[in-house]
Structure 1
């Protein structure tokens, strides 16, 4: 891609920015409209205070705070270090030089620059942060949260890195190919494709990605299996099967979820849940997950993700029309294979900036699923017991720093959920 196409880039910048603004505004409107901001009226006497000491013992609080105190600095350092590595490859000519070097044995074509250069950048970032990941695994072992041997940990790291890197570079390859074929309008086509991929990915993830990390077996016939099918029917979200995941090979954490759509919808329960929770508590945690299905949270999240992807790619079209930015990265344009380092850096920054917004929506959506569980089971005692056991087993920080919860908290804290259940009891009697 030569500098002769600079006028085409310049001509496409303003429309790209306009589309990004329009889609961003549409995204903001959708978030405001669909997010369940208020779920329960304030009970008489005011809302129940959020007090971790009411949900956990002093020893449990101290242990969870010790765990997160050891893990949080490493997580933050890993995030910042990964961003720095991405910036080195994206905002200097190191990314372009790497793409040329790794593609040279195969002829040096733009496609090889994107594929091999992208893989090299992503793997380099993963290797730089690998010691921090290993430290985090050591902390989880120390506190009994992880049961993985180092061999399984290494396999999981390799698998997740391979899947993430493979899907990312294929997406980047399609984007650069579009930029070469349609220099003025590539961002519009790429934005539509990204939105479509979000939709397709949400349907395929349970079938294509989940089996790479866990084995699933149907729950043996019995009272609990029958009750969970009945619970799904009462929720208005019938399922095709109830599966047990062999999560204990990796962790002692508790979890359950509902995955799939229509004929592929199934309840998935960690085997750790069956070992540690009563039948009533299992039903409570499953009722929460069924709440996501009953309120179409996956479809809503897919819509938000599609709009976000479209807006992000349009903004990318505006940024990649910047001659100073391209010159700094050593690329001549968005259709140049050497742009891969800059593309990955902008993707990393966009992901980081969008995370607090995603988590803001997620916390309210999770609270609505809690409300569904309470309404469905009419059993606040089991709900509260589940939250306490989840908090204790998963070593969740009962009172995280406000900034950390705002940026990275995808769920309400256990203390907030217990207080919510108390409010539900007072409002619903």
Structure 2
């Protein structure tokens, strides 16, 4: 591709991003109606029935702003990688690294470190604004130093994992240019299982302190509930999140002997025992239905399809740009891999979200059967909405691209139906 054409493409990308930002702003602030449909006004799903007017208004404004920031930030990495390719910087960097050292693992390390730091610094202002925003609205009580510590830990954890992936891809593309994607996928199977296994005991404790549930009376109730579901309740953990946030959460993590249910200490303080038991029953459903294993299987199937598409996109790009398609342009090839991985991953997100929403609905309904207390679930969801300033009925694009759970409106509606 000639330099003049590259310059035009670069301008087109920047103008396109500006147009995209305008579209996002128009979608959320002009075309989207944040009001509930009239038939739900004044009902138990209406925020104005469990929030005061000011809280309901703040919830809408905060959620809208948060979603705008999310959609604006999504293409930034792709734009940075595209501009690096078009400017020729990546090709020159690869040539310089070959002169600097003959060791491939060092070349790839320095290349990926450069790309990671650059993309991190470019997206940092938006991340910092999100932090300030959540602090302003009272959702975050974490100090800036503590937040930066988590950011740095997150950067290095992600860097270490992705560097390993990138280096393996680098070696496979060099040795198996036609079937690298198949071998990469086969190697990803044990790697994915290993990461899921060590997540609760190695990665998560880097950010927070985990310990067995302190409230022994509540623990007895959970143990009793777990016995009904034939689940080992000794894997219920509490995590100290009150030093960072005021929001509530609970989740299932890990596999095998490391599988556990985790409750934030904020959840324990903000919900009643009945509401917590409903949340616990929901999480127990994930054990019973083996949702973690199903999600892992879905991830592996999706990655196979994704790697195939990425391989085809890379080959198409390289065939149209002869200067990229040479043995000394491996850093360019890796940049294409990162670029297309991000795009394909984002495009596939709605599919995984839809599957997840189905599993989460089943978990909610399982919790109703196990506790026989749908009302506790409805009140818990009302409190969760109020506490996290979450929109009960978010815009379509938000649900489509962001929600791996049903909306609060949907969850409260089918719990109410389950009472009948």
TM over 0.5: yes
What residue in structure 2 maps to residue 416 of structure 1?
410
Question: Do 2:251 and 2:262's aligned partners in 1 also have CA atoms closer than 8 Å?
Answer: yes
CA 1:265–1:239 in structure 2 vs 1: closer, same or farther (change >3 Å)? farther
Question: Do 2:253 and 2:260's aligned partners in 1 also have CA atoms closer than 8 Å?
Answer: yes
What residue in structure 2 maps to residue 93 of structure 1?
88
CA 1:55–1:366 in structure 2 vs 1: closer, same or farther (change >3 Å)? farther
Q: For 1:214, which of 204, 208, 222 is the aligned residue? A: 208
After superposition, the C-alpha distances for 1:98-127 in whole angstroms (9 at most, x for unaligned) are: 3444x3574155433322212211221111
TM-score (norm 2): 0.83
CA 1:350–1:108 in structure 2 vs 1: closer, same or farther (change >3 Å)? farther
Q: Displacement of 1:201 after TM fit? A: 2.3
CA 1:310–1:217 in structure 2 vs 1: closer, same or farther (change >3 Å)? same
After superposition, the C-alpha distances for 1:353-377 in whole angstroms (9 at most, x for unaligned) are: 1111111111111111111111111
Segment of structure 1 superposing worse, 75-84 or 155-164: 75-84
What residue in structure 2 maps to residue 182 of structure 1?
176
What residue in structure 2 maps to residue 24 of structure 1?
none
Matched residues in 2 for 1:272 and 1:325: separation?
A: 54
Could you tell me which runs of 5 or more consecutive residues in structure 1 were left unpaired when the two chains were aligned. Answer: 1-47
Matched, 1:64 2:59: yes
Segment of structure 1 superposing worse, 224-233 or 178-187: 178-187
Tell me which stretches of 4 or more aligned residues in structure 1 moved more than 4 Å.
48-57
Q: For 2:217, which of 220, 223, 238 is the aligned residue? A: 223
Q: Displacement of 1:97 after TM fit? A: 2.6
Question: Do 2:94 and 2:331's aligned partners in 1 also have CA atoms closer than 8 Å?
Answer: yes
Q: Displacement of 1:54 after TM fit? A: 5.5
What residue in structure 1 maps to residue 122 of structure 2?
128
What residue in structure 2 maps to residue 272 of structure 1?
266
Q: Displacement of 1:251 after TM fit? A: 0.8
Secondary structure of the structure 1 residue equivalent to 2:394: coil
Q: Displacement of 1:146 after TM fit? A: 0.4
What residue in structure 1 maps to residue 287 of structure 2?
293
After superposition, the C-alpha distances for 1:61-95 in whole angstroms (9 at most, x for unaligned) are: 21211211332222222212232113223455332
Question: Do 2:198 and 2:258's aligned partners in 1 also have CA atoms closer than 8 Å?
Answer: no
Question: Do 2:214 and 2:238's aligned partners in 1 also have CA atoms closer than 8 Å?
Answer: no
After superposition, the C-alpha distances for 1:370-414 in whole angstroms (9 at most, x for unaligned) are: 111111111111111110111111111222111221111121121
After superposition, the C-alpha distances for 1:237-267 in whole angstroms (9 at most, x for unaligned) are: 2233332101112111101123233433332
Q: For 2:151, which of 132, 157, 162 is the aligned residue? A: 157
What residue in structure 1 maps to residue 79 of structure 2?
84
Q: Which fold has the larger relative contact order, with Cα–Cα distance below 8 Å and residues 6 or more apart in sequence?
A: 1
Question: Do 2:354 and 2:404's aligned partners in 1 also have CA atoms closer than 8 Å?
Answer: yes
Aligned residues: 378
Matched residues in 2 for 1:109 and 1:319: separation?
A: 28
What residue in structure 1 maps to residue 401 of structure 2?
407
Please tell me the root mean square deviation across aligned C-alpha atoms, in Å. 2.4
Q: Displacement of 1:320 after TM fit? A: 3.0
Matched, 1:237 2:231: yes
Segment of structure 1 superposing worse, 119-128 or 329-338: 329-338
Matched residues in 1 for 2:403 and 2:288: separation?
A: 23
CA 1:421–1:328 in structure 2 vs 1: closer, same or farther (change >3 Å)? farther
Secondary structure of the structure 2 residue equivalent to 1:330: coil
Secondary structure of the structure 2 residue equivalent to 1:267: strand
CA 1:285–1:274 in structure 2 vs 1: closer, same or farther (change >3 Å)? same
How do 1:281-360 and structure 2 match up within 5 A? 281-322=275-316, 324=318, 327=321, 330=324, 332=326, 336-360=330-354
CA 1:100–1:228 in structure 2 vs 1: closer, same or farther (change >3 Å)? farther
Secondary structure of the structure 1 residue equivalent to 2:233: coil
How do 1:31-50 and structure 2 match up within 5 A? none
TM-score (norm 1): 0.82
Matched residues in 2 for 1:285 and 1:334: separation?
A: 55
Secondary structure of the structure 2 residue equivalent to 1:250: coil
What residue in structure 2 maps to residue 391 of structure 1?
385
Q: Displacement of 1:130 after TM fit? A: 0.4
What residue in structure 1 maps to residue 368 of structure 2?
374
Secondary structure of the structure 2 residue equivalent to 1:198: helix
